[in-house]
Amino acid sequence: MNLDEVIKKRASIRKYLEKPVTLDKIALLLEAARTAPNSGNLQDFRFVVINNKAIKNQITETSLRQFWMNSAPVFIVVCSDLNKLETYYKERSKEYGLQNASAAAMLISLKAVDLGLSTCWVNVFDKNAISRILRLKDKVIPHIVLTLGYEENNQSKKKFSKIPLSKITFFNSYGTNIINVKVWAKEKYLDKIKKLFTKK
């Protein structure tokens, strides 16, 4: 599957088949995740893989009781170890830790699609409770819970409208979305680009 196909197919899946995810596939996901860009190459991301039903249920309870989560055979909790980040980045360490964890989680989500798997990104949860449940060390902060499994009922085929690029993209200053496309692109691409950036 090429990258464009992976990006288009990725979706937030909330219902999974009762089919286990093998450890070799989980390893491939985490290999992808650890290539994520990260502050100072400190590689602060940490991953807790969970397939224990009791622990998954505890995490679901602390995630606003989103019980659909339990249909996923695996959770991956993406964390950041702030110890080195604090040494180098002081008060910015938590912000950078979240950014780094998010980059890693996105790569897991994309690689999952490539392997025929699906995920959903959950970040509404009690961090203190999850830290206690997973026995996280001091300064290891949980940022994202990814549910992981094989989707049920082809949910990823559902199409959701996206905000046009013309509404979310600006050039050189915020709010400036009228551009001279000839400066940016070759002649043969002009019509296509004009449509992308002027669509209402």
Q: What is the pLDDT of residues 50-84, one digit of tens each?
A: 999 999 999 999 999 999 999 999 999 999 999 99
Task: Report in angstroms the alpha-carbon separations of 36 from 12, 13, 31, 81.
Answer: 20, 23, 10, 15
What own/partner pairs with CB < 8 Å and gap ≥ 24 does 170-177 have? none
Q: Where are the domains of the chain?
A: 3-157, 165-198
Mean pLDDT of 181-192: 76
What residue has token string 């449509």?
Answer: 195
Please provide the CATH number assigned to the domain covering 3-157.
3.40.109.10
- Identify the residue with better confidence: 188 or 72: 72
The torsion region of residue 142 among left (phi > 0), alpha (psi -120 to 50) and beta comes to beta
Task: Please count the other Cβ atoms lying within 10 Å of the Cβ belonging to residue 76.
Answer: 24
pLDDT > 90? residue 185: no
pLDDT of residue 139: 96
pLDDT > 70? residue 121: yes
pLDDT of residue 200: 66
- Over the stretch 129-169, which tens digit does the pLDDT of each residue have? 999 999 999 999 999 999 999 999 877 667 778 888 888 88
* Chain mean pLDDT for the chain: 93
Helix-helix angle 93-114:82-89, to 10 degrees: 130
Mean pLDDT of 15-27: 97
Percent of the chain with pLDDT over 90: 76
Output the pTM of the full model.
0.92
Residue 125: closest CA among 20, 196, 50, 38: 50
Q: Residue 196 — very low, low, confident or very high, per pLDDT cuts 50/70/90?
A: confident
Q: Give the start-end residues of each E strand in the chain.
A: 45-50, 74-81, 118-122, 140-149
pLDDT > 90? residue 28: yes
